[in-house]
Chain A
Amino acid sequence: MLPLLLLLVPAAHGIARLAYTPALTKEPSLGGQKTASTFVLDQPRCVFDKYGNADIWLVVALDSAASTFNNTERPGTPETAFQNFPDPVHAYMTLNTTLINYPCSNPAGDITVLRVGSETSCAQDVTRPTCNGPLPGPGPYRVKFLALEGSVPVAETGWSLPITLKEAKSPDTISTTRSGHSAGMIAITTILSILFAILLAGLVAMLVFWSSDSCSGSSTFSKPESVTVRRYNTHHVYDQPAARL
């Protein structure tokens, strides 16, 4: 009898391990899926159906502390308060809700997500230890959902993959200069330089021409006002003494 009782007692305290793993929202594609202090998870729909009486909590933990998280931790205590995260608290519990908010039906057109880190008003308020405050650093973090009936954990999902948030760089790292010059600018510069050089050479040749006077005779044309018509006398106009005889 006693061994049977001993076997039964652990089963009564056993936490159901559900097959669901929390994940960042991939559908629809969101521009703010991960920011510097928030991230967006899919809601755990059709997961906790058998636990209609339970409160479903989200546990957010540092990647290094995920494996050591104790499911018997109670939410709303300083040991799981957001305001003490990440030091000394390595995992906090937030986003308390019941199954009503995670119905199984999937309404088309509605976006069903959880934004972790959206409440900024209570981030410093120690009277709200379950605040869904902005995450203090880039992480990495891991999350899981935990169903508590009263203060007894009854079901949990698996831990998510590590989530690393964005880290902002300084604008000084932006390079403002182009690596090279565009083809257009190079084309303009070279072509115009060549044309200008040819013209200068032509001018120099002209001036050399002018001062040397050497080629002024061959195949030139005259200026209009210097055209003269030389009149040739084609007929003799003098008297022929012999014709008078």
Chain B
Amino acid sequence: MAKNYDCVHILQGLLVFGNVVIGMCGIALTAECIYFVSNPHDLYPLLKATENSDIYTSAWIGIFVGLALFALSILGIIGVIKASRTLLLVYIILMLTTFAFEMASCITAATHQDSLTPGLFLKQMLERYQKSEPANNSDNVVTKTWDELMLQNHCCGVLGPSDWQEYTSAFRRMHSDADYPWPRMCCVLDAQGLPINLDGCKLGVSGYYNSNGCYDTISGPVNTHAWGVAWFGFAILCWTFCVLLGTMFYWSRIEY
């Protein structure tokens, strides 16, 4: 009997420890998702213009899942210590529901990250940058965002200045190819915002124009965002899986 009690105490201790970790991870997940939702990065207008805001849906779900995990972990601790079958059954069912929601959030975040291909941004940039009759305000915002992006990160286009040569665009309809092989923002500008050497920029002399593309700069924050939501949630779920299995085993061994 003593050995049985030791096993019991060890199992209870492990389950309490597991639930404590789940509670802390739940708080961390909530805090992280609140940060993502309330602090959209500078490239948010580009993401919004793609009309695919799944990454923000995932973050919103993450906030509520985090709080639920915290509350349920407290319930789990109480249930394990009191060895109450009812409490633990409620705990398991609610945890499974939370598991399902968080699973949806992780998969959505990962799928959305996949969908942000260079082609998506390239098409959006070609169709909307410096559009002469902007259909709505979001076209102006896209232009402004791209100008700031190219200015601050010293880059041009999505894959490079050749984007403007290989494809027709709203920009090309307004500006002739000979005068503007690529937008002026692709030139190296001086303090007043004028190209330091306009002919050098038009010729494409390295040092007078930005020859690298902006895709790496765009995908950086987006990937951080997706990693934070999808992979952290995945890690929490793996841990929760272990704790739930342990709880189910514990539940089945409680004398009714």
Contact = CB atoms under 8 A, between A and B. Distances in A.
Given A196-B103, A202-B245, A222-B255, A185 B110 contact: yes
Interface residues of A, number: 60
A240 interface: no
Contact of A199 (B5, B85, B169, B244): B244
Contact of B203 (A30, A37, A119): A30
Main secondary structure of the interface of A (DSSP, over half): loop
Contacts of B241: 195, 198-199
Contact of A182 (B89, B114, B169): B114
A171 to B, nearest CB: 4
B138 interface: no
Interface string A166-188: 10111101111110011011001
B252 A206 contact: yes
Contacts, number: 168
Main secondary structure of the interface of B (DSSP, over half): helix
Given A188-B107, A199-B99, A209-B252, A177 B117 contact: yes
Q: How large is the interface on B (under 10, 10 to 19, 20 to 34, 35 or more residues)?
A: 35 or more
A28 interface: yes
B19 interface: no
26 contacts: A31-B204, A32-B202, A35-B177, A133-B178, A134-B177, A168-B172, A171-B167, A173-B167, A174-B119, A174-B122, A174-B126, A176-B123, A177-B117, A177-B119, A182-B114, A184-B230, A184-B231, A196-B103, A199-B99, A202-B245, A209-B252, A221-B5, A221-B7, A221-B255, A223-B83, A226-B255
Interface of A: 28-33, 35-38, 40, 111, 113, 115, 117-120, 133-134, 166, 168-171, 173-178, 181-182, 184-185, 188-189, 191-193, 195-196, 198-200, 202-203, 205-206, 209-210, 215-216, 219-224, 226
